[in-house]
A and B are shown apart, each in its own frame.
Chain A
Amino acid sequence: MSQTATSARVPLVEYLVIDDGDPYLVANECTSCGARFFDRRNACASCSGTEFTRVRVASEGELRTFTIVSFAAPGIPVPFVAGVVDCDGTSVRGNVVNTDPDPDHVRVGMPVRLTTFPIGTDRDGTEAIAFGFEPADHHTSTSTDAGSE
């Protein structure tokens, strides 16, 4: 496949859309039961239906759970925050980024939003883009509780 000047960026995963304005995630939604999946499908795990449509997933959500990984496979920088975000009813797996990876700065229930960042460039000069979730609640760092939601 020939490379063109405009294809200098690729998403880390196929379900991250980076060439249509603000980046967003897409899911394969089962047309019969509405179950959503991020991987290539043979059929639906919920109802065995075989037709899917691509739907845009909300880019803001609530951190439903997390862990702070201090010990990982070789080559993976630690510590990092891994979690699951409830994006308006669709659960998304991702890292929590742009915050200190410690329990004082990350808490379950915190509002987060999608963000993207480059993870490297290949031989052809193509940059790979990954996604994560960053804190969306700027009130947490203020000195008063008055603004809490």
Chain B
Amino acid sequence: MSTSDDIWILGIRMTKFGKHPDRDVVDLASEAVLGALADGGVTMKDIGVIAAGNLMNATAGIGQQLQKQVGQTGVPVYNVANACATGATALRTAIMAVKSGEVDMGLAVGVEKLSGAGLLGGGGVAKADGDTWEPSGRFGAVASTDGRIGTNTMPGVFAQIGMEYGHRYGGTTFELFARISEKNHAHSTLNPLAAYQKQFTLEEIMGDMMISYPNTRPMCSANCDGAAAAVVTNGATLARLSGEQQRRAIKVSASVLTTDPYEEACQVLPNVNTLTRNAARIAYEQAGIGPTDLDLVELHDCFATAELVHYDNLMLCDEGGAVDFFESGAPWRDGTTPVNVSGGLQSKGHPISATGIANVWEVCHHLRGEAGDRQIEGAKVGLAHVIGLGSACGVHVLERSAA
């Protein structure tokens, strides 16, 4: 592949994450899109394709709603949905379109309004008194199985994923998981776009409301509103743009999306490990780098228990070594491999479809040297990871422009 085929992020923007009661999804998406276009020095007229994600209202055609506010140019829109990997899927879709040569420039956007959404994943229809038991669904169940045969709630599913890691390799305790959360909340104090910028003591985290052992409330991702958008282009197009645009452009050295290959138990408890490991392996190969080359990582810490397993899945440590990796201080912002310096999903927040692009924005921000107080000095290479249950995993490796 020649340099002219390389993929670049030309412009990127995330909104402030948090509560936006007076703004709808189109307002938030528009802010991110207009911001990303301005950041890249281009307009809607330059965009050849749009990939848009909004999971909670996936049938509403957010891409076209957005066009009606910011520019109906007639270009194709792909509305995508892939659980918590929706944003990364939108980005990957725009990248594939540019890579195919069909368009020179693509726009990816993800937006969600999730404030007050409460517990995700649980529930089912309760049986009213007097009804008769009738088997239904693929398990022939006569009543809702959530809570009777395990749990469907996200905090509960990811708690089991962390506990399982502890069973395999040892060393995990309630306190260890709480300390991972302590790190991310400490990091968030430097991020003005985070939904919560509050530092918590370990005691406060462990003493907070238990949601699903060992995840207490601050150890769970924060439901909030937000949007993020990115403009991607190829090397040939970038070469025709200004020196300033070339200097700030960020190279996408790997863009990968995977699903989970069949393994025993994967339909009993979601296996978030293998598909992440596969995505990471492909990404490092595409980028021609290894995990030790990374200056920062934004990974999908939807729960404190999830962050631990992804140290291992992204190969930031030896297999089975995630606890030691954390204990060494490596993932703190002054450590050898800073992880979630944005504050992560636990404090920055997790407006589902925005997350996969916002993570990329955070990495780009550091690679451009524009991250202010929380800048990781001299950052050249970073990785952004998201996972959506079902499952889908997106990994992007990003590199600072040499220009």
Contacts and interface: CB of A to CB of B under 8 A. Distances in A.
B131 to A, nearest CB: 6
A83 B130 contact: no
Interface string B193-234: 000000000000000011111110000000000000000000
Contacts, number: 161
Contact of A122 (B124, B132, B141): B132
A76 B268 CA distance: 20
Contacts of B141: 12-14
Given A45-B267, A122-B133, A126-B133, A64 B167 contact: yes
Contacts of B265: 84, 91
A120 B59 CA distance: 37
A82 B160 contact: yes
Nearest to A70: B210
Given A68-B212, A94-B149, A123-B130, A12 B143 contact: yes
Interface string A77-89: 1001011100001
B61 interface: no
Nearest to A125: B132
B269 A67 contact: no
Interface residues of A, number: 51
Given A38-B139, A82-B156, A123-B132, A65 B164 contact: yes
Interface string A29-48: 00000011111100001100
- Secondary structure at chain B's binding surface: helix, strand, loop or mixed? loop
A64 to B, nearest CB: 6
A58 interface: no
Contacts of A90: 264
Contacts of A74: 123
Contacts of A71: 119, 153, 155, 209-212
A97 to B, nearest CB: 10
Contacts of B160: 65-67, 82-84
B133 A69 contact: no
Contacts of A65: 160-161, 163-164, 167, 269
B320 to A, nearest CB: 15
A128 B142 contact: yes
B140 to A, nearest CB: 3
Nearest to A101: B213
Interface in B251-286: 262, 264-265, 267-269
Contacts of A75: 126
Given A123-B131, A126-B132, A128-B133, A67 B148 contact: no
B122 interface: yes
Contacts of A15: 139-140
Contacts of A136: none
B269 to A, nearest CB: 5
Contact of B122 (A38, A40, A76, A94): A76
A66 B267 contact: no
A39 B139 contact: yes
Nearest to B260: A45
Contacts of A84: 150, 160, 164, 265, 268-269
A29 B142 CA distance: 23
Contact of A109 (B167, B174, B214, B269): B167
21 contacts: A13-B142, A14-B141, A39-B267, A40-B140, A45-B262, A45-B267, A66-B163, A67-B160, A67-B212, A71-B209, A72-B119, A77-B147, A80-B151, A83-B150, A90-B264, A91-B265, A93-B268, A103-B214, A119-B143, A124-B132, A128-B133
Interface of B: 119, 122-124, 126-127, 130-133, 135, 138-143, 145-151, 153, 155-156, 159-161, 163-164, 166-167, 174, 209-215, 262, 264-265, 267-269
